[in-house]
Amino acid sequence: MNRDNDLKITNDAKCRFLPFNTKEVFEKIKEYDTLNEMWRDCVCEYSDDVAIIYDNKSYTFKELDLDIKKFRGVLKKYNISKGDRIGIFIKNSYEFVKVMMAVTTYGAISIIIPPYFDNQAINEITKLFNLKGIIYGKSIKQNTVLAQKMNLDLTIIDANLKGEMVQDCKSIKKEDSAVVLFTLGVVKEERSKGALLSHGALMQGVVNGFYGYKDVFSQKYLLTLPLHHAFGLIRGLLTPLASGSSVYIPKQAELIYNDSQKYNPSIIVGVPDVVRIGLELAKNRGKHIFGNNLKLVVTGSAKISEELIKGYNDLGIPLVTGYGLTESAALVSGNPETLKKPDSVGMFFPNIEYKIVDGELFLKGKNMMDYYIGLDDGDTTYFIDGWFKTGDLVKIDEDGYLYIIGRVKNAMSLQTGENVDVKRLENIFKKIEYVKNIKIEERSDELGIHKLAIEIELDYDLIKDLNINRCKKVIMRKIEKINRDLYPHERIKLILFKE
Give pLDDT tens digits for 16-30: 444 445 555 556 676
User: Does residue 15 register a pLDDT over 50?
Assistant: no
Q: Which CATH architecture has domain 418-497?
A: 2-Layer Sandwich (3.30)
DSSP bridge partners of 439: 455
Mean pLDDT of the residues in the chain = 87
Q: What is the pLDDT of residue 446?
A: 64
Weakest-pLDDT range from 47-56, 319-328, 393-402, 438-447: 438-447
CATH 3.30.300.30 residue window(s) in the chain? 418-497
Share of the chain above pLDDT 70, in %: 87
Q: Indicate if the alpha-carbon torsion angle 35, 36, 38, 39 is positive or negative.
A: positive
Question: Tell me: the pLDDT tens digits for 78-112?
Answer: 999 999 999 999 999 999 999 999 999 999 999 99
Please answer whether residues 345 and 323 qualify as being in contact, where contact means their C-beta atoms are separated by less than 8 angstroms: yes
| Measured distance CA(279)–CA(286) in Å, rounded | 9
Question: Tell me: the pLDDT tens digits for 225-276?
Answer: 999 999 999 999 999 999 999 999 999 877 789 888 889 999 999 988 889 9
Q: What is the pLDDT of residue 103?
A: 98
For the domain made up of 9-407, the CATH class stated in words is alpha beta
Please answer whether residues 146 and 120 qualify as being in contact, where contact means their C-beta atoms are separated by less than 8 angstroms: yes
User: Does residue 379 register a pLDDT over 70?
Assistant: no
Question: Tell me: the pLDDT tens digits for 288-334?
Answer: 999 999 999 999 867 788 999 999 999 999 999 999 999 999 999 99
Stretch 383-393: mean pLDDT? 89
CATH 3.40.50.12780 residue window(s) in the chain? 9-407
Stretch 140-149: mean pLDDT? 95
One-letter identity of residue 398? E
- Which of these, 13, 176, 185, lies nearest to 83 by C-alpha position? 176
Stretch 175-199: mean pLDDT? 77
Name the DSSP class of 494.
E
